[in-house]
Amino acid sequence: MTVRTRFAPSPTGYLHVGGARTALFSYLFARKHGGQFVLRIEDTDLERSTTESVNAILEGMTWLGLEYDEGPFYQTQRFERYDQIIDELLERGLAYRCACPKERIEQLREKQMAERLKPRYDGHCRGKEVSADEPHVIRFKNPDTGVVVVDDMIRGRVVFSNEELDDLVIRRSDGAPTYNLSVVVDDADMGITHVIRGDDHLNNTPRQINILRALGREVPRYAHVPMILGDDGARLSKRHGAVSVIAYRDQGYLPEALLNYLVRLGWSHGDQEIFSLDEMIELFSIGDVNRAASAFNTDKLDWLNQQYLQHADPARIARLLSPHMGRLGIDPATGPDLAEVVRVQAARAKTLVELAEISAFFYRDFEGYDEGAAKKHLRPVARESLEQLAAAFELMSFEDWTPAELKHVVERVAEELGVNMGKVAQPLRVAIVGRAASPGIDETLWLVGKDATLRRIAQALRYIGARAAAD
C-alpha cells in the first residue's frame, strides 16, 4: 500500500500555526513512509472562502517548505462529482429528501436541550416521499444500530454509538454539498490512506466512516492531533499574539525554526531539541504524539530561532534580513556586506526584525545615545582617549582599515594613557554605536567604516563638551 496523506484547509482566513502543525505531521508521515502528500482546498463555504485566504495558505506552505506532491485541488471544482455521489445514495435508498423548515429544526433542538438531550435530527422525513420540486435538503440515512470504532493512531480506540448519530445533511437547500460529504468523496477518490487532522474533527469521523461504508469505499486510518493552547490554557487565538504562519515570517522567524518548534508541540525524541527536516522525517512517529493539548511558548520559539540564526549560513540569513532592513529605510547595498554584519550580530538577536534593528547603526548615524550608556561612558574623562583615537584613525589608510589594525590602535592608545582596554573601548563603543553593547570593537569599527567612525567620534566629543558646559 502506498501511503497518501492530505492537508485540507478551509480558505476562510490565514494559515494558522495549528493548521501548519497538522500539515507538518501529515507531510512527515508521508515522507517517512515513501508516500505522497496532497494539498486540498476545502472551499465549499462560498460565503467565507476568499482568494486572499487561498493565497495566504499557498504562501505559508511555500515559505515553510512543505512541498506537496499533488494539488492544490479545489472542492468548488468538484461539485458535479459530489452531486453524482449524492444521487447514487438517493437511488440506493441510503439518503433521502428532508423538507423540514428551519423553524421546526430549531424548535426540536431547543426542546432536546431543555430536556438535557443531545440535539439531533429525529428522522421526521425519513420515511416520507418529498418532492424534488419543493424546498429540501438531502440527508444521509445513518445506521440506526451498532457502533463505529475508530482505531485512532494517537488517541487509541474510540467507540461511537450509531444511536447517538443523526441523519446529517449532505446537500443544502441551495444545492451545495456539505463538509462531511465532500470530504468523504475527496478522500475516497484521491486514495487517501491516512487522515491526520485536528481533534476538533473527531466527532465527524464516525459519520464519515458510515458514508464511506455506504459507498463501499476503503476507510482510511485516522489520527486526531490535540489542539494548541495559549499560555492561559485557552485555545490559541489572535489574542495570544501572532497565530498566522505569515505573521511569524513577518516578525522575523526562520521557517526551519518554526517547523522545529511545531514538531515539538506534542512530540519528542528523547531530550533532543533541534531537528533538521531530514531528522524529523527519519525520527517522527505519529503514534508518539501526545494525547494532551500543548501550550504555545513564545520564549521557546525565540530560543530556537536564535539557535538557527547563529548556526545558519550568514549569506542566506543576509538574504532573509535584507527586506527587514528595507522596512527600516536602509539599503544594505550602501554599507558593509550584510553577510558580515550577520556574522558578528546573529548571536545577539532572537529574530530577523531584532537583528535589523540592532544592526541599523552600521548603515546610518543614530539620533541619540542610550541615556544610561552615555551617562556612564561619555564623560569628560573620556575626551582624551577619543581625541587620540580620532587622530590615529585619521592617519589610517582605507587599505589599513582592518579589524587587526584597528584593534592594535585601540590597544596602543590604552597603553599610552596607562588605562585598561575597557576605559578606552567602552567610550568609543558608545560613540560609534550609541549604546554599550556591540560586537568586538575592532570588527564594529571595521564594518562602520572610517568616515562614519570619525564623524561619530566628533559628535561624541561635542556631546561631552555640551555636558561639561551644562555641569
> d(Cα 311, Cα 298) in Å, to the nearest integer?
20
| Residue 362: closest CA among 331, 403, 408 | 331
Q: Work out whether strand 156-161 and strand 147-152 pair parallel, antiparallel, or are unpaired.
A: antiparallel
Catalytic residue, from 111, 128, 238, 375: name it.
Answer: 238
In the chain, what's the furthest Cα-to-Cα distance? 105
Phi, psi dihedral angles at 318 (to 5 degrees): -60, -40
Cβ pair 240, 296 in contact under 8 A: yes
Cβ pair 21, 262 in contact under 8 A: yes
Angle at 416 between CA 412 and CA 419, to 5 degrees: 95
Rg (CA), the chain: 32
Q: How many CB atoms lie within 10 A of CB 453?
A: 23
**Which contacts qualify for 436-440: CB closer than 8 Å, 24 or more apart?**
436/370, 436/372, 436/373, 436/376, 436/377, 437/348, 438/361, 439/344, 439/345, 439/348, 440/344, 440/403, 440/407
| Residue 310: closest CA among 279, 335, 362, 346 | 346
> d(Cα 339, Cα 81) in Å, to the nearest integer?
53
Dihedral angle, C-alpha 148, 179, 239, 251, nearest 10 °: 110
> d(Cα 317, Cα 61) in Å, to the nearest integer?
20
> d(Cα 314, Cα 342) in Å, to the nearest integer?
6
Cβ pair 222, 205 in contact under 8 A: yes
Q: How many CB atoms lie within 10 A of CB 175?
A: 12
DSSP assignment string, 155-209 = TEEEEEEGGG----EEE-TTSPBPHHHHHHHHHHHTT--EEEEEGGGGGGHHHHH
- 375 annotated active-site: no
Dihedral angle, C-alpha 440, 446, 452, 455, nearest 10 °: 70
Q: How many CA atoms lie within 13 A of 159 on its CB side?
A: 3
Kind and range of the H or E element at 4? strand 4-7
Active site amino acids: 238
